[in-house]
Structure 1
Amino acid sequence: MQFTNGMRASEIPVERWVKSAASAGIGECVEVALVPGGGVAVRNSRFPDGAALLFTKAEMTAFVAGAGAGEFDELVARSA
């Protein structure tokens, strides 16, 4: 099966969806899952059957490293 951006998250056969322990538990979370064959899927926890975005492991690694280094902190601060 080929996975594409925007397909329903429920159509991607993942073992489990994971969200950050830092989530407040009020439905404002994203969840991630490993996709069979490689890559990572991301979905909105409020719409678990909605569209998923798919990223390669390299793309997700770069994003997580950037987030950990504070590269996106300004975006969050401005939207508050």
Structure 2
Amino acid sequence: MDDLSVELATAAWRKATKSASNDGNCIEVAPLSDGRVGIRDTEAPEKAPYIVRASVWDAFIDGAKKGEFDF
């Protein structure tokens, strides 16, 4: 098992508190080393998560706060 696999297996996954209103179906995120963030589907936690750099995650959060993804 490589270092990333070990890190993912012990990662502190969390989901938004508002996900309860969606039957808990959402994504989970986990902080990883080097500022990376793991992103996975709560309905399929056994599948490999997406791993993004800190800059990508920060840009996503910034866009979400600004309403860029609102419908």
TM-score by length of 1: 0.71
- Residue matched to 1:59: 56
Q: 1:17 aligns with which of 5, 13, 19?
A: 13
Please tell me whether residue 42 in structure 1 is matched to residue 39 in structure 2: yes
Task: Report the RMSD for the aligned CA atoms in angstroms.
Answer: 2.3
Higher relative contact order (CA 8 A, sep 6+): 1
Aligned structure 1 segments of 4 or more residues deviating by more than 2 angstroms? none
Larger fraction in helix:
2
Q: Which runs of 5+ in 2 are unaligned?
A: none
Contact 2:28 2:41 (C-alpha < 8 Å) held by counterparts = yes
Please tell me whether residue 33 in structure 1 is matched to residue 30 in structure 2: yes
Contact 1:30 1:43 (C-alpha < 8 Å) held by counterparts = yes
Number of aligned residues: 69
Q: Deviation digits for residues 48-67 of structure 1, max 9, x if unmatched?
A: 11120010111001001101
Identity of aligned residues (%): 33
Q: Which runs of 5+ in 1 are unaligned?
A: 4-8, 75-80
